[in-house]
Chains A and B, each alone.
Chain A
Amino acid sequence: MELTSRPGRPPGYSAFSLVKHGLLRQGWTPAWRRHELRGSYDVVIIGGGVHGLAAAYYLAVRHGISNVAVLDKGYIGSGGSGRNTAILRSNYLTPEGVRFYERSMELYRGLAADLNFNVMFARRGHLTLAHNDGSLRTMRWRAEVNKLQGVDSDVIGPAEIKRLVPYLDISPRARYPVLGALYHPPGGIIRHDAVVWGYARGADAHGVHIHQDIEVTGIDVANGKVRGVQTSRGPIASPVVLNCTAGWSTLICDMAGVRVPVQTFPLQAAVTEPVRPFLDAVVVSGSLHVYVSQTDRGELVFGASVDEYPSYSMRGSLDFIEGLAGHVLELMPSLARVRLLRQWAGLCDMTPDFSPIMGLTPVEGFLVDIGWGTYGFKAGPVSGEAMAECIASGKPPPIIAGFDLARFAEGRQLGEKGAASVGH
């Protein structure tokens, strides 16, 4: 993907600029600036995460719409973007899903160059283990759909799995024997904060205003049209308001009088102390509700499926790390001595069909990019691209046509739920 224009400010990053700065002992200019809050913008984006910042970036870069404000109640990336486990893949179950996430992967692969910011995308390969014939059947189903969309994905057997992940216990006597796996070589991990910062820096360079620590308290709607938003720092007029929040998406939609079929669940994650790299691939076990990857720093990053009941709590539970550790050791028994360093939680907006809600709403000018469940980070770039186009053209592009809000009332749910099991 080529940009229509390159970021002007700030000066580009490169090995050369590093040396120069080092020699001259000169400081770096800000990656983004603080701005005065204007009374009105052409577009107000609620939520300074990957989705909101990417939408702003593509609005400015692709469509020349740069009088845009991105509002975040905390610091940029403080929500799901900074709390997810940064796993990228496109081996979904439905053709719509696969095409959509594959476009996101395409954008991710070019992101470092496009943003002139190293987002450290590491193509590690992604393994989803099957412990029973049911999940093995679903893996085959996914693999076939993936291949039809041109996505590299296939079912492999225990021997091949062992070769890819030597620490894995593949003995048939295991309580959860490993019968096979869905192997997705292009999958991998990325530095999630870098994606947020890269988009923020790019958007800022193109004139977008990023406002942190500002909370939206209301949305002004008059005879079916959006007029603007009320915030902790006063009102902002705008004909277009995009809800890019996660965890708060229903609360924001309520402000506009739009009801959406979303329930908010905590998703917990944890990270260990660094150990010498031994795990290349991302390993997921649906039956055991766990996924594992190892960062370049050597930390093991663990995630799971969402908690069993909805909540806005991000405190994290002991239950979670107990179950997590048990399941990790079922898979890799020799990690008993590795120490868990930190646990945290993020909020996931689950929809009935495990697919997002994107595009227009009954309120003119109020758009949504929500319901991201546990798969929002993967979809950041493509969502920003699609929502930017939706705003610029006034209608949802084909790639998100199936994600419309009306599908629930009309009984057109998407099939990702077909193989309902842990994502990632």
Chain B
Amino acid sequence: MMLLPCPWCGPRNVSEFRYVSELVPRPDPAAASPGEWRDYLYLRGNQRGWVTERWYHRAGCGQYFLVDRETATDQTRPRQDAR
């Protein structure tokens, strides 16, 4: 089972976490056109390689954090700005 480096609790089994999303910028809802808004809702890079993601430590510290993951090997790398 993949280990995820929680910036607060250290490496833990991935089963303790909930995957939130690939990191995507949220457009200003007031300014965004329907197209832009739905791109934000639905479009993801879905790259095969290193991706920055947000995870939630559901069965741990209850914190949301960022982590880098290689999507083919599922290796992970902690980030300086994880918290």
Contact = CB atoms under 8 A, between A and B. Distances in A.
Q: Establish whether A and B are touching in the complex (CB under 8 Å).
A: yes
Interface of A: 248, 250-251, 259-264, 308-313, 315, 317-319, 352, 408-411
B46 A313 contact: no
Nearest to A351: B42
Interface in B31-83: 34-35, 38-39, 41-44, 46-48, 71-74
Given A313-B73, A411-B34, A261 B48 contact: no
Contacts of A352: 41-42
B42 A313 contact: no
Contacts of A310: 19, 22, 44, 46, 71
Contact of A318 (B1, B35, B41): B1
A181 B47 CA distance: 39
A61 to B, nearest CB: 34
A295 to B, nearest CB: 29
Contacts of B42: 261, 352, 408
Contact of A259 (B18, B43, B74): B43
Contacts of B15: 319
Contacts of A309: 14, 19
Contact of A261 (B1, B44, B71): B44
Interface centre among A261, A311, A411 (most CB of B within 10 A): A311
B44 to A, nearest CB: 5
A91 to B, nearest CB: 27
A261 B74 contact: no
Contacts of B22: 310
A-B pairs, 4 with minimum CB distance: A309-B19, A261-B42, A250-B46, A312-B72
A313 B39 contact: no
A371 B43 CA distance: 13
Given A352-B41, A409-B34, A409-B38, A312 B1 contact: no
A210 to B, nearest CB: 25
Interface centre among A248, A262, A263, A409 (most CB of B within 10 A): A409
A319 B1 contact: yes
Nearest to B39: A409
11 contacts: A251-B48, A259-B39, A262-B46, A264-B71, A310-B22, A310-B44, A312-B48, A313-B74, A408-B38, A409-B35, A411-B38
A46 B48 CA distance: 18
Given A264-B71, A312-B48, 16 more contacts: A248-B48, A250-B46, A251-B47, A259-B39, A261-B43, A262-B44, A263-B44, A264-B46, A308-B19, A312-B72, A313-B73, A313-B74, A319-B1, A352-B41, A408-B42, A411-B38
